Structure 1
Amino acid sequence: MLKVSNLSVNYGDTPVVKQLNLALDRDEIMMLVGPTGCGKTTILQALAGLIPITEGEINLGSWSATATKMVPPEKRNVGMVFQDFALFPHLTVEQNVCFRLKNTELADHWLKLLGLEGLRRAKPANLSGGQKQRVALARTLAHEPAFVLLDEPLSNLDAALKDSLRWEIRNALKTAGVPAIWVTHDQEEALSVGDRVGILNRGRLEQIADPETCFAEPANRFVARFLGEASFLPGQLQGQDVLTELGNVPGKAMDCASGQVELLLRPDDLSLVAETDKGNAVVDWVRYEGGSKLYCVTLDSGHSLRVRVSHEQHSKPGERVSIAITTNHPLAAFAQQADIAG
């Protein structure tokens, strides 16, 4: 099991990663997400031994690295998959996967499993982006790493290919039984693929939990906003319910919140119905998403909410609508802050 304790990394006098703690179980896939510059790639580089750490410990059982005890990358048995594939252009697919392998049986196994059998003699220049990434993954797994680090492996691919390849990579990692830390900017990718998700902000881990917990019960407003569209509606927490201008709904206090709270509402927690004369809100704008539409509305009280509905809804900016909370599960309730806007 990979265990990281109080890991900090500085670039000169500038702290980039601050007191990171995490443990990776056997065959677990952990997704790391966060804004650009939050330290995601730096964490991968530190785990791989490519950069020194300032303090803390990285422990795999067979080795342990600290600020004063550096373990070189080649001694860590770590596999890395990059966004730019990092293939040798002069070698064939088979030669890339078998590079520095004494026993090529595992290479044959992964070439077949990842659908590369018919491309053994092809050079990288003749491969699609998805094929190149499968070659890079096959090469990594053929070397039987103790854990795998993936640095935005799908960022250079088109949207349609990303959706299918993310599952191919996940299934391959699970088949190999190897744990992995996967860095991505794609929140949907993180929530759908990861066994757990870690959300970073300015070098600190804000929350680490299973995807559903991070989305439905975020540790704070930063996590709530980063993992999807988030609106906040004032209310009064009374027992297991929150009293709001849109009615009473089940609530769950976050961080010991009590009394006056702000309820986290996702666009799918709400409904929108066009109204001619009545209604309780006005449409500010609408975005067409294909199978759905995302609306921003302003309640008569002045609070702003975002609502996702069927693409068949045709309300226009300036028109009145009725907004209601339709979800039955408890919604996260945070201590009220005067500066929070929807």
Structure 2
Amino acid sequence: MLSVQNLSVDYGTTRVVDDLSLALGADEILMLVGPTGCGKTTILQALAGLIPISGGSIELGAWHASATATVAPEKRNVGMVFQDFALFPHLTVQQNVNFRLKDSHLADHWLELLGLNALRNAKPANLSGGQKQRVALARTLAHEPVFVLLDEPLSNLDAALKDSLRWEIRNALKEAGVPAIWVTHDQEEALSVGDRVGILNRGKLEQIAPPETCFCEPASRFVARFLGEASFIPGRLEQGYVTTDLGSAPGTPVDGATGEVDLLLRPDDVSMHSSGSDSNGTVRWSRYEGGTCLYSVDTDAGCDIKVRVSHENRAAAGERVKLAITTTHPLAVFNRVPT
């Protein structure tokens, strides 16, 4: 098991990673997300031993690294998958995967599993982006790492390819049975692929939990906003239910919220219909998403609510509509922020 305790990393006088603690199970995939500059890539570099740490420790099996007891990168048996693939351009696919391997049977296994058999003699220049990333992953797993670090592995690929390749990578990691930390800017990727998600903010881990928990029960307003469209509406929490101008819903308090609160609404928690005398909001803008449309609605009570509806339910900017809370699952409730 990978264990990280109170890890801190400084760049000069600036603390980039602050008191990070986490542990990974035997084949667990942890997705790390957060704004640009929050410390995601720095964490990967520290775990790989590529940069010194300022405090805390990293432990995995036979080795233990700290600020005063360093372990060289080559002694850690870490596998890394980069966004730019990092393949040797003068070597074939098979030579890239076999690089520095004494026994080629593992390379053959991963070449076959990742659908690369027909490309064994191809050079990287003749491969697509998805094929290059499969080669990089095969090379990493063929060396039997004790854990794998992935730094934005799909960021250079088109949207359609990302959707299929993310599952190929997940399945390969599970097949290998190694823990992995996967850095991404794509919230959908993080929520769908990871066993757990860690959300970073200015070098601190704000929450680490299963994807559904992070999305439905965010530990902070920052997490709520970062993982998707988030609207907050004032209400009153009593006996497990929150009463608002848009209706009531069961509530899960965050940090002991009670009494006058703000209820977190996701776009799918609310319905929208064209209405006349009983309307309660005005459409500000809409975004066509294919099968759905996302609307921003200014309610008569002064809230900006995002709502997602079928693309057949259309409304123009300035049109009066009626919003209502329709969800039956508990929604996160935060202490009221003074206006």
Q: TM-score range by the shorter chain?
A: over 0.9
Unaligned runs of 5+ in 1: none
Asked if 1 retains the 8 angstrom alpha-carbon contact of 2:251 and 2:330, the reply is yes
CA contact (8 A) 2:32 2:40 kept: yes
Q: Residue type matched to 1:268 in 2?
A: D
Quick one: distance in 2 between partners of 1:307 and 1:68?
Answer: 52
Shift of 1:278: 3.3
Output one character per residue of 1:184-203: Cα deviation in whole Å (capped at 9) or x when no partner: 00000000000000000000
Compute the displacement of 1:247 (Å): 1.8
CA RMSD of aligned residues (A): 0.6
**Aligned-pair distance for 1:67?**
0.3
**Structure 1 residue aligned with 2:94:** 94
Does residue 335 of structure 1 match 2:303? no
Task: For 1:248 and 1:223, locate their aligned partners in 2 and report how far apart those are by CA, in whole Å.
Answer: 23
Give percent identity, aligned residues only.
Answer: 73
CA deviation digits over 1:276-327, x for unaligned, max 9?
A: 4431111010000111000000111111100000011121011111101110
Q: Which residue of 1 aligns with 2:177?
A: 177
Does the 8 Å CA contact 2:248/2:325 hold for their aligned counterparts?
Answer: no
Q: In the TM superposition, what whole-angstrom CA distance separates every residue of 1:206-260 from its partner, at most 9, and x where no partner exists?
A: 0000000000000000000000000000000101101111122111111101110
Residues 278, 320 of structure 1: 8 Å contact kept: no
**1:273 corresponds to:** 273
Residue in 1 that maps onto 2:253: 253
3-state DSSP of counterpart to 1:169? helix
Q: Does the 8 Å contact 1:6/1:55 carry over to 2?
A: yes
Corresponding residue number in structure 2 for 1:192: 192
Work out whether residues 235 and 244 of structure 1, in 8 Å CA contact, stay in contact via their aligned partners in 2: yes
Deviation string, structure 1 residues 135-176 (Cα, Å, up to 9, x no partner): 000000000000000000000000000000000000000001
| 3-state SS of 1:162 partner | helix
Task: Tell me if 1:38 matches 2:31.
Answer: no
The runs of at least 4 consecutive aligned structure 1 residues that moved more than 3 Å come to none
C-alpha separation in 1, matches of 2:258 and 2:266:
21
Mapped partners of 2:234, 2:149: distance in 1: 42
- Report the secondary structure of 2:81's partner residue: strand
Structure-to-structure mapping, 1:5-154, within 5 angstroms: 5-154=5-154
* Alpha-carbon distance in structure 2 between the residues aligned to 1:110 and 1:244: 55
How many angstroms apart in 2 are the aligned matches of 1:165 and 1:108? Answer: 20
**What TM-score does the superposition give when structure 1 sets the normalisation length?**
0.98
Query: Tell me, what secondary structure is at the counterpart of 1:59?
Result: strand
Local SS of the residue matching 1:132: helix
1:55-88 residue CA offsets vs partner (Å, 9 max, x unmatched): 0000002100000111000000000000000000
The answer as to 2:303 corresponding to 1:303 is: yes
TM-superposition CA deviations, 1:107-143 (whole Å, max 9, x none): 0000000000000000000000000000000000000
One-letter amino acid matched to 1:157: L
Separation (CA, whole Å) in 2 of partners of 1:235 and 1:120 = 62
Structure-2-length-normalised TM-score: 0.99
Gap change, CA 1:277 and 1:259, over 3 Å in 2: closer
In 2, Cα distance between equivalents of 1:9 and 1:232: 35
Structure 2 unmatched ranges of 5 or more? none
CA contact 1:277–1:320 (8 Å) conserved in 2: no
- Give the distance between the partners of 2:244 and 2:322, measured in 1 at CA: 15
- Residue identity matched to 1:297: V
8 Å CA contact retained: 1:33, 1:187: yes
Cα deviation, 1:82-108, whole Å, max 9, x if unaligned, reads: 000000000000000000000100000
Determine whether 1:322 maps to 2:322. Answer: yes
1:12-44 deviations in Å (ceiling 9; x for gaps)? 111000000000100000000000000000000
Question: Where do residues 212-251 of structure 1 align in structure 2 (5 Å cutoff)?
Answer: 212-251=212-251
Q: How many pairs were matched up?
A: 339
